[in-house]
Structure 1
Amino acid sequence: MTIEANRFLVRLKECKKIAAVKKPKQLELAVKYKDRLSGVFILTGNINLIKKYVELLRKEGLPTFVHIEKIKGLSNDKDGLDYIESFVKPTGIVTTKPSLIAAAKKRKLLTVQRIFMIDTEIIENLPELLEKNRPDIIEIMPARIPEIIQEIKEYTDNIPLITGGLLTEKQHAIKAIEHGAVAVSTSNVQVWKMDLTRELQFL
C-alpha cells in the first residue's frame, strides 16, 4: 500500500468524514474545510476535467478518489482504469462494479467498493463477493440503516466500513459511526463543517 493510501486510512479514523463532491462548485468548499475531511470522492465531471479536479484537491493535501461510473466519457473497464492510473493519478477509485476491484489494485489504486443494500440477498452474497474481489474499503449505502452496519461487519474480515447516502443531519452521521462505520461520505456541506470526533467524545 502506498504512503498516500496509508495516510488516507489514518485520516479516515481521525476526521470520520469524506466529502462526496457532486457539483464542481463544491470543490472549493472541500478545500475550505480540508482540515475536517478525510478525503474527497469525486462524483462529477468528464474525461476532460477530471484531472484538473484531482490535481486541485491533491495539491491541498486531500486524498482524492474518482467514482469511475460517474465521470462522463470515461469507460468503466480496464482501459478506463489505465487512463485514471497513468493520467489522472488519484489516490484511488470508487466503484459499484466488483470486477474492477482487482484490476484497480494491480494499478496501485486504493479501492472503495460501493454496495447498495436493497435486500437481504446482498448481505447473504457478501462473503462470496469479498472472497473474489477484496476491496480496501467497503461503502454501504444508504447510511440511514445503521443496524445493518453491525451485521455486515461480521462478514467483512476487518475491511474498513464507511457509509453514505441520505445523511441530512449530524445525528445521522453519529449514529452510523456508533454502529461501526469508520466514517461517513456525504455531499452535505453542513456535515463537512462538523468536528465529528469532538461530537462523539461528548456522547
Structure 2
Amino acid sequence: MMNPLIDSLNKNPIIAAVKELDKLDIALNSPCENIFLLSGNIFNLKEISLRVKLRNKGLYILADSIDGFSKDTWGLEYIIKNIELDGIITRKSNLIKLCKDMGVFTIQRMLIHNSKELNEGLASIKSLRPNVINICPGIMPRIIDKVYLETMIPIVASGLIEDREDIELALTSGAKGIASTTINTWFNY
C-alpha cells in the first residue's frame, strides 16, 4: 500500500527543504507537494504548520532541529499532539520507535560520512523499519542503491544536490525523491 508522501513523489520527486524560514513563502509557492521543515521553534511551529496545510502540502518536521524543544520523547510527543504534520524526520532511534508506536509516519535520517556510519545506520533501519529513509548527502549513487537493495524502504536523497544532473543520478540510483534547500531545484526539475 502506498502512502501520501510516496504517491506525491511519483508526481513530483522534488521536496522543498526549508532551512531558513524566510524561504518558506517560496516553498509554499513552488510546485513541490511536500516540505521538509529543517528549522523552527516552539513559538512558530503551529503557524508554519497552518500555512503549509492551507496550501495542501505535506509537512515533515526534522524534530532534531526544532529550537525550544527538548530532543527527547517528551518534546516529540508535544510536537505530535499539538502540531498538524504528516510525519517526523529524525536520526534518533528512540524517536523513530516512539513515532512508530504512536502511529506517526517516520523518516529516518542517515548522515553518512564513512562506512562505520553506513553500517550502523543500516542496522538501525533494518531493526526499526521506518517508512522512508533520508540519505545525506544525497550525491552518493552507489550508497543509495546499496541502502535500498538491503532495506527495500523508499529513499529520499538530500544534501549537496546542486543541479539537474545530481537529481537524475540520485533518482536513477533508487531514490524516490530529492529534498533540496536550493530554490532553483524546486522550479527547474
TM-score by length of 1: 0.87
Distance in 2 between residues matched to 1:23 and 1:87, nearest whole Å: 22
Contact 2:122 2:147 in 1 (8 A): no
Distance in 2 between residues matched to 1:177 and 1:131, nearest whole Å: 22
Larger CA deviation: 176-185 vs 146-155: 146-155
Aligned-pair CA distance for 1:41: 0.8
Q: Which runs of 5+ in 1 are unaligned?
A: 196-203
Equivalenced residues, count: 189
Structure 2 residue aligned with 1:149: 144
Instruction: Please list the CA deviations of residues 144-169 of structure 1 after superposition, one character each: whole Å capped at 9, or x if unmatched.
Output: 2112111122211x210111001111
Q: Which runs of 5+ in 2 are unaligned?
A: none
Corresponding residue SS for 1:89: coil
Corresponding residue SS for 2:17: strand
Structure 1 residue aligned with 2:18: 21
Distance in 2 between residues matched to 1:69 and 1:123, nearest whole Å: 19
Distance in 1 between residues matched to 2:89 and 2:149, nearest whole Å: 22
Distance in 2 between residues matched to 1:104 and 1:124, nearest whole Å: 23
Match of 2:90 among 82, 86, 95: 95
Residue 9 in 1 paired to residue 6 in 2? yes
Structure 1 residue aligned with 2:29: 32
Distance in 2 between residues matched to 1:180 and 1:131, nearest whole Å: 18
Structure 2 residue aligned with 1:200: none
Distance in 1 between residues matched to 2:67 and 2:130, nearest whole Å: 24
Identity of aligned residues (%): 27
Distance in 1 between residues matched to 2:121 and 2:37, nearest whole Å: 25
Contact 2:108 2:125 in 1 (8 A): no
Structure 1 residue aligned with 2:156: 162
Distance in 2 between residues matched to 1:65 and 1:42, nearest whole Å: 6
Match of 1:78 among 73, 86, 96: 73
Structure 2 residue aligned with 1:128: 123
Letter in 1 for 2:133: I
Contact 1:54 1:88 in 2 (8 A): yes
TM-score by length of 2: 0.93
Aligned-pair CA distance for 1:127: 4.3
Structure 1 residue aligned with 2:167: 173
CA RMSD of aligned residues (A): 1.6
Letter in 2 for 1:178: T
